[in-house]
Amino acid sequence: MADSLILEVADFEHDVLTGIYSEETGKPQPLRISMAVTLKCADRYDPETPLDASKNYMDLKFAASEGLPPGVHFKLIEAVADHIIETLMVQDERVEAVTVKIVKLAIAEANEQIGITLTRHRR
């Protein structure tokens, strides 16, 4: 089995135009987004290993914020997750898989987490 490196950003909150119901359309909704990106692993990481042997964590945050097209309304949060995954895979050929979990904060009534998790592997 090959070694792998998993970079993670958990519980990042961002407002996104999403939803299918009339009360959801036209205004951004708060989403809690977590991402796990599996990268091809370097042979070794020592104290002098440069950043390009890994990936900048800020790339993950960018894909879930500024990387989303402005003004585009995503009917499904699955489409938001798919766009984030595509952005991360296009950015870096070392990305082997991406998992995105999205929780819709606006519909929770008792602190429950309602949402989806989408995982895609490079083909």
SS (H, E, C) the chain: CCCEEEEEEEEEEEEEEECCCCCCCCCEEEEEEEEEEEEECCCCCCCCCCHHHCCCHHHHHHHCCCCCCCCCCECCHHHHHHHHHHHHHHHCCCEEEEEEEEEEHHHCCCCCCCEEEEEEECC
Task: Note down the domain range covering 67.
Answer: 4-121
Tens of pLDDT, residues 63-111: 999 999 999 999 999 999 999 999 999 999 999 999 999 999 988 888 8
Tens of pLDDT, residues 24-60: 788 899 999 999 999 998 889 999 999 888 889 999 9
Residue 12 pLDDT: 97
Q: Number of structural domains, the chain? A: 1
Mean predicted lDDT score pLDDT of the chain: 93
Can you give the pTM of this predicted structure? 0.92
CATH code, 12? 3.30.1130.10
